Structure 1
Amino acid sequence: EKMTSSRLIGPVAIDPNEQALFDAPLMALAQKSGGDLRKLLSAFFSFLDRKTDFYFVPHPDDPPESIKMGFREGDAEKLLLASYRQYPLRRMPKGVSNGKSGSAVAAPVAKKKTEPKKAKESTVEKNEDKGSNAATPAATVAVEKQTKEADIKTKSNNNNSAENKIRLTEEGKQIPVGNGGCSTKRKVTYHWTQTIDEATIVLPVPESTRGRDLSVDICTSSVSIIWKQSKEVILEGDLAAKVRKDESTWSLEGGALVITLDKLQKTWWKNVIVGDEVIDTSLIDSKRKVSEYDDATQGAIRKIIFDQQQQQLGLPSSDEILGVKPQIPPLPKGVEYIDADTFKQSKVSK
């Protein structure tokens, strides 16, 4: 019997005590995989396929209120992506990624977490020596200011590095990266990517930013992001094309504001905000994975691929294996089919 998943497609936070219960079996599975995360992930998704309704898609004719199993098409992928984006990417120190040090990975993380605390303690001790009664609040403000300045400086360095990597065509258009580009015209440099269905904007923000600090307004034809406290505009402008407002989302992920826009029409955009730098859309990788199509189209594509392979090997096609006769479409009046032999003879006689 398959377990039924929750209908919610957003990520869920796990209590630390509950996380410890998950860690034990997951660690055992990680060790069982011999360090190959592909095996671990393959086993996990195989479990979801065999034991849950993660890969089930409700029948299109079923009313939404009666659906108790499965996910609407695309919702399972959204849940997967939202879960992945819960945790920020961590840049490894130089030399660690090529195996020079086995313990250096954890050190930078610990250092990053403890440094603000040390700064706070140091400031408090200094103020106490002077006899100040307001030492702790002053230290806290100082630490918060230092942290925010460090965050902004880090983002600025990252943006400068990104700007240096922008490549242009002879016409001065950006060569697409992730089918999108980078805008440096505005106060805050942002990156964007796209598929035929969606466009995603990634804006750097301080690590300490909370959702309540921002006012994000996604309209059908425009977008606006403003700091609530200072009313300072982070990004504002008209979109390259219309989007579905209710299907578009935003989230904070590891020092970045990520805005996902659901395109109303399936077209490739040259830029995401009108007036910003454009990409060369002729260089976009427009190929789609088979899994991105609906079930009927996937079946038709796989049938064509199978038949082509069978033909190359001199083996029967899928229709011949199943004993299905090919359907001959009706011809216009006055036109008729002729067999291959008759066609060859007519060519020879000419």
Structure 2
Amino acid sequence: MSSSNRDKSPTPSERERLDKEAKTREEEEQAKLPYKWTQTLNEAEVSIPIPGNLKSKDLIVELKKSHIKASIKGQTPVIDGDTPFPLNTEDSTWTLSTKPDNTKEIVLTIAKSAGSNWWPHITTDAPKIDVTKIVPENSKLGDLDGDTRGMVEKMMYDQEMKRQGKPTSDEQQKQDLMKKFMKEHPEMDFSNAKIG
């Protein structure tokens, strides 16, 4: 197979340009939403600006297991859709707060269900963000669910072993299996075997 037939990976400068374009497009899509949102691994927060003369009795806010809705009574909902992952309804709340300029906002605090994930969007009908580009602030291993934490710890261990020139956990496991097999089968000749 000649090299011209292979898929060409982008060069680092092309990759940087593509990433920058994707980030700009993502920021533009998010800016068009009628709300702002942020997230941690455990919760998402949505801020919806509304006129300052409204009170909570003028609003409809629903936080269900896989659906959220927020609207001013008699108007098209500002947000009304299914969430990408279930939420913990018992710990999810909403408030109506007045900002310094006397405008108001509905603030939804959405508690993500156990086994948290980064959400690509608040509702599945909204534009997605690239969750692989999220850099969590001061995240702690203890905040992660068991499987994710184990995977991150393994990656950290393997990275440190490579740095020290030692075998990674997978390489060590293969070596251990081979040693065990050799010990269990002393009748076999392993003199030409490559281990490691």
Contact kept in structure 2, 1:202 and 1:259, CA below 8 Å: yes
Q: Supply the RMSD in Å over aligned alpha carbons.
A: 3.1
Which structure has more helix as a fraction of its residues? 1
Aligned counterparts of 2:20 and 2:126: Cα–Cα separation in 1: 16
Structure 1 residues 201 and 292 mapped into 2: Cα distance closer, same or farther (>3 Å)? farther
Contact kept in structure 2, 1:215 and 1:227, CA below 8 Å: yes
2:120 pairs with 1:275: no
Residue 291 of structure 1, CA deviation? 10
Aligned counterparts of 2:75 and 2:143: Cα–Cα separation in 1: 43
Residue 190 of structure 1, CA deviation? 0.9
CA displacement, residues 64-87 of structure 1 (integer Å, 9 cap, x when unaligned): xxxxxxxxxxxxxxxxxxxxxxxx
CA displacement, residues 166-208 of structure 1 (integer Å, 9 cap, x when unaligned): xx84346525xxxxx83525xxx11110000101111001122
Contact kept in structure 2, 1:183 and 1:276, CA below 8 Å: no
Letter in 2 for 1:184: K
Aligned counterparts of 2:66 and 2:140: Cα–Cα separation in 1: 31
Contact kept in structure 2, 1:183 and 1:277, CA below 8 Å: no
Aligned counterparts of 1:266 and 1:291: Cα–Cα separation in 2: 13
Aligned counterparts of 1:293 and 1:241: Cα–Cα separation in 2: 18
Residue 334 of structure 1, CA deviation? 5.6
| Equivalent residue number for residue 250 of structure 1 | 94
Q: Secondary structure at the match of 1:202?
A: strand
Residue 257 of structure 1, CA deviation? 0.7
Letter in 2 for 1:276: A
Q: Secondary structure at the match of 2:57?
A: helix
2:19 pairs with 1:174: no
Structure 1 residues 292 and 214 mapped into 2: Cα distance closer, same or farther (>3 Å)? farther
Structure 1 residues 259 and 211 mapped into 2: Cα distance closer, same or farther (>3 Å)? same
Aligned counterparts of 1:221 and 1:290: Cα–Cα separation in 2: 27
Structure 1 residues 291 and 269 mapped into 2: Cα distance closer, same or farther (>3 Å)? closer
Structure 1 residues 170 and 258 mapped into 2: Cα distance closer, same or farther (>3 Å)? same
- Higher relative contact order at CA 8 Å, sep ≥6: structure 1 or structure 2? 2
Aligned counterparts of 1:287 and 1:204: Cα–Cα separation in 2: 26
2:59 pairs with 1:209: no
Q: Secondary structure at the match of 1:170?
A: helix
Residue 220 of structure 1, CA deviation? 0.8
Residue 266 of structure 1, CA deviation? 0.9
Letter in 1 for 2:111: D
Residue 267 of structure 1, CA deviation? 0.6
Q: Secondary structure at the match of 1:233?
A: coil
Residue 272 of structure 1, CA deviation? 0.9
Aligned counterparts of 2:140 and 2:70: Cα–Cα separation in 1: 36
Match of 2:65 among 217, 220, 229: 220
Structure 1 residues 261 and 202 mapped into 2: Cα distance closer, same or farther (>3 Å)? same
Q: Secondary structure at the match of 1:247?
A: coil
The percent of aligned pairs where both chains have the same amino acid is: 24
Q: Give 1:50-199 correspondences, 5 Å limit.
A: 169-171=20-22, 173-174=25-26, 182=30, 184=32, 189-199=34-44
Aligned counterparts of 1:208 and 1:174: Cα–Cα separation in 2: 33
Q: Secondary structure at the match of 1:266?
A: coil
Letter in 1 for 2:38: T
Contact kept in structure 1, 2:41 and 2:143, CA below 8 Å: no
Q: Secondary structure at the match of 2:30?
A: strand
- List 4+ stretches of structure 1 deviating above 4 A: 289-294, 331-335
TM-score by length of 2: 0.53
| Equivalent residue number for residue 111 of structure 2 | 262
Q: Give 1:12-51 correspondences, 5 Å limit.
A: none
Q: Note the residue ranges of structure 1 that are not aligned, 5 or more in a row.
A: 1-167, 176-180, 295-330, 336-350
Letter in 1 for 2:32: T
Aligned length: 124
| Equivalent residue number for residue 136 of structure 2 | 286
Structure 1 residues 221 and 183 mapped into 2: Cα distance closer, same or farther (>3 Å)? farther
| Equivalent residue number for residue 94 of structure 1 | none
Contact kept in structure 2, 1:224 and 1:236, CA below 8 Å: yes
Q: Secondary structure at the match of 2:21?
A: coil
Which structure has more strand as a fraction of its residues? 2
Aligned counterparts of 1:196 and 1:271: Cα–Cα separation in 2: 13
| Equivalent residue number for residue 233 of structure 1 | 77
Structure 1 residues 282 and 290 mapped into 2: Cα distance closer, same or farther (>3 Å)? closer
